[in-house]
Structure 1
C-alpha cells in the first residue's frame, strides 16, 4: 500500500515539476526566438502539417515553394503541436502547450525507464528530475528552439532502458528498445545514428560478460527488426526520394571542440546559450565519484562512458582532423551532450540513493528545489537580455518575440533549401524571388494556392512555350494543364519546368504519396498492431492452438 502511495505521490510531483519547468515560457506573451536559431523553422513545419496525412507537400509554408520537408524531417511526434495549435486557435499557445506536453512526457518516460532498470521509485524520481531539467535540454527548448532534438531526448531513457534490459536485465523487455528507437526515428534522424553507435559500442564491450547469450542476441535482433518494420512509413519514402533525386542535404562545415576556458565559464554560470551539460551535471560527476560504492559494474561503465564523452567534446580530441570523416554528419560537437546528459544523469541518480528512508527523503527535499531554482534563474537570465552572445557561433543573437500575427509572415518569407534539388543552391533567384519564367522572360501570371495545390492561370500565350516555376520538384508530383495530366522536368534552377500550349492554360500542381510510401505505411501499421497485442492474449492463443492439435 505504501509503495502504491509513493508512486502516486511521485506522479503528482512530476506533474508539478513540469509546471515549474515551463513557467518561464508561459510568463511571456509570445514565443521567445533568437535570430540565429531554429524556432522559425519549426513553427513553419507545424503550420505545414495541415495536410500531412494526404500530401507530402504543403504550399502554405516555407515561402510557398513546395518544400517536401516532412518527408525528410520526421514529423509524427511533432504532429501534436499542430493539434494544440488548431484546438487553441493560437500558434503561441499551441507551441507552449506542446512544450509542456513533451516535458511532462519526458518526466514520465524517464521515471518509468529508470524504474524498469533499477526497480526503485526513488532512483526513478531523481533521474527523471535531473535528466528533464538538464541544461542541454533547456538549451534545445528555450534557446535553440530545436524541437526535433528536444523531443528526441524524451525517448532517450527508453532506449537506455531497452538496451540495459537486453544486455543485462530481462531480455523479454526488448520492446522498450523497439518503441524508444522507433519514436526517435519519427523525430530526429541524427539522434538515431548517435544512439545506434552508442548501442553498438555497449554491445562490443559487454558481450563477453553476457549470460544467456543466445536469448539476448535473439531479443536484440527482434528489437532491431521490429524497429525497422515500424519505421518503414518514414524510411521508405525518405530513401525513395534520396536515392532517385540529387538533393541538397544540410552538412556541417567543420567540427570544433569546446575551448576549455569558455566551457568552464558556461558550466559554472549554467549558461543556457553555452550548449553545455550545465552546472548541476558538472557537480554530479564529482558527487557520483563520492557515491561510487553504490554503483554496480554496468553503472560504472555507463558513468565512465559519460565522462569520456563529456571530455571528448573539448579540444582534447582533434575534431578538426575528424571533419573529413562521417562524424561530420553530427554537424556540431556539442550535440553529443544529449547522450552525455543521459548517461551522467543515470549514474548520478543511482549513486545518490540511500537505503535509509529518512536520508533518502531529506536528499529529495533538498535536491528538487535546487534543480528547479537553477533552471528558472538560468532561463530568466537568458530571456531578459535583448541581445545574447552566442558562445559557440561567436556572434550576437537578437532576442525577438513571436506573436500569432507573425506566423503568416514567417511562412511567406522563410524559404527552405534543405532537401531541395542541388541546383537550387546555385540558382537561388527563381526560388527566393518566386519567379515564373516563360521562354527566358519573367512573367506575372495569375496564381493562387491552397495547402495541397497551386493553380497557375496563363492567358493569350502566342506559341507553345516552356514555363519555369519557383516550385520544387519531387517524386509523386501531379501536374495537369487544362485538366489533362502532363509531365514535368527539372529546370536549370532546380525547380519544376513544364511545356504549355498556346492560348489559355490552367495549370494545377499537387502531390500524392507514392505507391512505395503507401506500402511502407501499411507495413508499419500492421507491425504496430501485431506488436501491440498483449502477451497474455498471445499465450492464450498458443495454448488453444496446442490443444486443438491434440
Structure 2
C-alpha cells in the first residue's frame, strides 16, 4: 500500500502545475477524445444511465450521427465521464482523470516488472523510468492524445504476458490475451505496434535453441486467437463499416516528417536516463538473461526505425495509418524500463537505493521542467489558453470528420453540419420545420411540396441505420456520397433515423461473451486444480 500511495502522491505532484492559472487545452487530439467522452456524459445527463455507450454521436461531432465509437471505442474514457457526473467542474474532472491515468501507468509498470523480477525495488525503478519518461510526459501534456495515454497503461501488462509465454510460465498465456484485447479497445495504432513487436519477439524462439520453442509458439497462437475472440465484437463492427464505405478518411501525415531526430531523442522522446540504461545493459551484458539481451537489440532497432535515418517514404502507402513513426517511442521507453528493472538486480542493496533515489529526482525534475515549458508556451499542437468556465464548451465541440467516406469530405461536410434537408435537396421544394436528436436517434420534420419523391438526408449511411417516415419504416438507399436516401410523401413528413446494432455486431458480442466466460472458467478450473495438487 505504501508503494501505491507513493504513486498517488507522485501522480498528483506531476499534474499539479496545471491546477493553477488558466487551463491550456488542445484543439486537436484532446478536443477529439474529450468530445467522445462528452457524448456519453450528455446522454447520461439527459436521465438514462443505460445510455452510457452510444452507438452514434448525436450531441457531439456535428450531431449528424457519426458512429465514432465503432472506430474508436469509448470504454477507457468512461472514468472521465463518471468523475464529471460527480464533480460539476469540467476542468477539475479532467485533472483528476489525468491523475488516475498516471497512477495506472506507474502501477501497471510496477506490477509487470515486480512480477518478473520478484524485486520491489526493480518494480519501482521500472515504474519511475517508464511513467516519467519524456515521451509519456510529451504525449500526456503536449500531444494530449488520450487514446495513446490510456494505451500506456495497458502495454506493460502486454509485455508481462508476452514474457510469460517467451521465457516464463507459458501456461499463463491468458494474461497476454486479456491485455491485447483491452489494447484493441483502447488504441488500435498502439495495438498494431505491439503486434509488430510480438512478431519480432518470435525471432527469439527461433534463434534460441530450446526444446520448448514450438510449444511456446503454440501458446502464443492460442493467446492471439483468444484475444481476437474477446475483442471481435468491436473488430467486426469496424470491419462492416469499412466494407460499407469502401474506404474511410483519416488524417494522413507524411511519415518521414514525423520521425525522431537526435535532439528529439534527448528532449521529447527519451531524455538522459534511457541512453544510460542502454549503455549499462552492454556493461552488464553477461548478467542479463537471453530474452533481455534480445530485447536490448530490439530496442536499438526500434530507435533506428523511429528515426529520420529510416527510409519511411518507401513505406508511405503501406504504413500511413501509423501517422507518426515517432510512436515507436512508446515501445522503446517500455522496453528500456523493463531492461532497467532487470539491470538493477545486479547491484548491491546500497547502490540500488542510490540509483533509485537519483532516478526519481532526475525523472521528476524532467517531467516538471517539460510541464512548465508546455504550460507557459502552448504553441504546439494547436493549444490555447482558456477560462475554466469554457472548458466543457470547447472540449466537447470537436468537428473532426474522420471516418467518413474517403474523398467525400469536401462534398458533404457543409451538408452534414447544416442538418438541413432543403440544402441536401436544393432542386426540390422542401421546407424544414425542425430537427432534433436524442440517444441513437435523429429526427426531422419537413413539408414536401412536390409529389412523392426520394430525398437525400444530411447523414452518412452506416450499417445499422433504419429510417422511419411517419412512424413507418422505409427502405434506405445510398447516393454517390454515401448519404442516406429515402422515399417521402407529399405534405408533412416526420423522418426518424434510428441506429440499431446489426446482426453481425450481435453475433460478435455473443462470440466475445462466450470467449470471456470460457476463459474465466478455464482460469478458475486451472487455479483450483493447481491448488488441489499443492
TM-score by length of 2: 0.89
Larger deviation, residues 180-189 vs 74-83: 74-83
Q: What CA distance in whole angstroms lies between the structure 2 residues aligned with 1:264 and 1:489?
A: 54
Per-residue deviation, residues 307-361 of structure 1 (Å, max 9, x unmatched)? 221122222221222213x222211111111111111222233223444222212
Q: Would the aligned equivalents of 1:467 and 1:499 in 2 still touch at CA under 8 Å?
A: yes
1:477 aligns with 2:465: yes
Q: Would the aligned equivalents of 2:448 and 2:489 in 1 still touch at CA under 8 Å?
A: no
2:401 aligned residue: 417
1:431 aligned residue: 416
Q: Would the aligned equivalents of 1:21 and 1:375 in 2 still touch at CA under 8 Å?
A: yes
Q: What CA distance in whole angstroms lies between the structure 2 residues aligned with 1:212 and 1:28?
A: 58
Q: What CA distance in whole angstroms lies between the structure 1 residues aligned with 2:52 and 2:476?
A: 24
Relative to structure 1, the CA distance from residue 172 to residue 370 in structure 2 (aligned partners, 3 Å threshold; closer, same or farther) is: same
Q: What CA distance in whole angstroms lies between the structure 2 residues aligned with 1:129 and 1:339?
A: 16
2:120 aligned residue: 121
Per-residue deviation, residues 526-549 of structure 1 (Å, max 9, x unmatched)? 3223322474545658999xxxxx
Once the two structures are TM-superposed, the CA of residue 383 in structure 1 deviates from its matched residue by 0.7
1:171 aligned residue: 170
- Structure 2 regions of 5+ residues with no counterpart? 44-50
Larger deviation, residues 159-168 vs 276-285: 276-285
Aligned with 1:521 (options 489, 509, 512): 509
Q: Would the aligned equivalents of 1:76 and 1:186 in 2 still touch at CA under 8 Å?
A: yes
In structure 1, the residue corresponding to 2:459 is in which secondary structure?
coil
Larger deviation, residues 313-322 vs 429-438: 429-438
Once the two structures are TM-superposed, the CA of residue 295 in structure 1 deviates from its matched residue by 2.2
1:189 aligns with 2:176: no
Q: What CA distance in whole angstroms lies between the structure 1 residues aligned with 2:387 and 2:180?
A: 33
Relative to structure 1, the CA distance from residue 280 to residue 360 in structure 2 (aligned partners, 3 Å threshold; closer, same or farther) is: closer
1:71 aligns with 2:70: yes
2:36 aligned residue: 45
Q: What CA distance in whole angstroms lies between the structure 2 residues aligned with 1:159 and 1:61?
A: 33
Once the two structures are TM-superposed, the CA of residue 60 in structure 1 deviates from its matched residue by 0.4
CA RMSD of aligned residues (A): 2.6
Relative to structure 1, the CA distance from residue 408 to residue 367 in structure 2 (aligned partners, 3 Å threshold; closer, same or farther) is: closer
Q: What CA distance in whole angstroms lies between the structure 2 residues aligned with 1:61 and 1:258?
A: 29
Q: What CA distance in whole angstroms lies between the structure 2 residues aligned with 1:355 and 1:543?
A: 35
1:440 aligns with 2:431: no
Once the two structures are TM-superposed, the CA of residue 460 in structure 1 deviates from its matched residue by 5.9
Relative to structure 1, the CA distance from residue 419 to residue 146 in structure 2 (aligned partners, 3 Å threshold; closer, same or farther) is: same
Relative to structure 1, the CA distance from residue 460 to residue 435 in structure 2 (aligned partners, 3 Å threshold; closer, same or farther) is: closer
In structure 2, the residue corresponding to 1:474 is in which secondary structure?
coil
1:213 aligned residue: 213
Aligned with 2:392 (options 378, 400, 407): 407
Q: Would the aligned equivalents of 2:435 and 2:443 in 1 still touch at CA under 8 Å?
A: yes
Q: What CA distance in whole angstroms lies between the structure 2 residues aligned with 1:405 and 1:399?
A: 12
2:46 aligned residue: none
In structure 2, the residue corresponding to 1:440 is in which secondary structure?
coil
1:393 aligned residue: none
Q: Would the aligned equivalents of 1:55 and 1:511 in 2 still touch at CA under 8 Å?
A: no
Larger deviation, residues 108-117 vs 206-215: 206-215
Q: Would the aligned equivalents of 1:313 and 1:334 in 2 still touch at CA under 8 Å?
A: yes
1:94 aligned residue: 93
Per-residue deviation, residues 4-48 of structure 1 (Å, max 9, x unmatched)? xxxx43233222222223223333553x2234x311111111112
- Structure 1 regions of 5+ residues with no counterpart? 1-7, 391-396, 545-550
Larger deviation, residues 529-538 vs 467-476: 529-538
In structure 2, the residue corresponding to 1:148 is in which secondary structure?
helix
1:314 aligns with 2:299: no
Per-residue deviation, residues 74-117 of structure 1 (Å, max 9, x unmatched)? 22222222222222234323322222212111111111111222
Aligned with 2:12 (options 11, 19, 22): 19
Q: What CA distance in whole angstroms lies between the structure 2 residues aligned with 1:477 and 1:215?
A: 46
2:84 aligned residue: 85
Q: What CA distance in whole angstroms lies between the structure 1 residues aligned with 2:93 and 2:165?
A: 38
Q: Would the aligned equivalents of 1:424 and 1:495 in 2 still touch at CA under 8 Å?
A: no
Once the two structures are TM-superposed, the CA of residue 368 in structure 1 deviates from its matched residue by 1.0
Once the two structures are TM-superposed, the CA of residue 480 in structure 1 deviates from its matched residue by 1.0
Once the two structures are TM-superposed, the CA of residue 452 in structure 1 deviates from its matched residue by 2.5
Relative to structure 1, the CA distance from residue 408 to residue 445 in structure 2 (aligned partners, 3 Å threshold; closer, same or farther) is: farther
Matched length: 519
Q: Would the aligned equivalents of 1:55 and 1:512 in 2 still touch at CA under 8 Å?
A: no
Q: Would the aligned equivalents of 2:204 and 2:291 in 1 still touch at CA under 8 Å?
A: no
Larger deviation, residues 359-368 vs 195-204: 359-368
Q: What CA distance in whole angstroms lies between the structure 2 residues aligned with 1:309 and 1:185?
A: 22
1:394 aligned residue: none
Q: What CA distance in whole angstroms lies between the structure 2 residues aligned with 1:495 and 1:277?
A: 46
Once the two structures are TM-superposed, the CA of residue 402 in structure 1 deviates from its matched residue by 6.4
Q: Would the aligned equivalents of 2:274 and 2:336 in 1 still touch at CA under 8 Å?
A: yes
In structure 1, the residue corresponding to 2:458 is in which secondary structure?
coil
Q: What CA distance in whole angstroms lies between the structure 2 residues aligned with 1:301 and 1:366?
A: 27
Once the two structures are TM-superposed, the CA of residue 386 in structure 1 deviates from its matched residue by 4.4
Q: Would the aligned equivalents of 1:257 and 1:314 in 2 still touch at CA under 8 Å?
A: no
Q: What CA distance in whole angstroms lies between the structure 1 residues aligned with 2:15 and 2:214?
A: 46
2:235 aligned residue: 235
1:375 aligns with 2:367: yes
Q: What CA distance in whole angstroms lies between the structure 1 residues aligned with 2:85 and 2:492?
A: 39
1:508 aligns with 2:496: yes
Q: Would the aligned equivalents of 2:141 and 2:371 in 1 still touch at CA under 8 Å?
A: yes
2:291 aligned residue: 298
2:149 aligned residue: 150
Q: What CA distance in whole angstroms lies between the structure 2 residues aligned with 1:542 and 1:350?
A: 29
Relative to structure 1, the CA distance from residue 130 to residue 306 in structure 2 (aligned partners, 3 Å threshold; closer, same or farther) is: same
Q: What CA distance in whole angstroms lies between the structure 1 residues aligned with 2:203 and 2:371?
A: 40
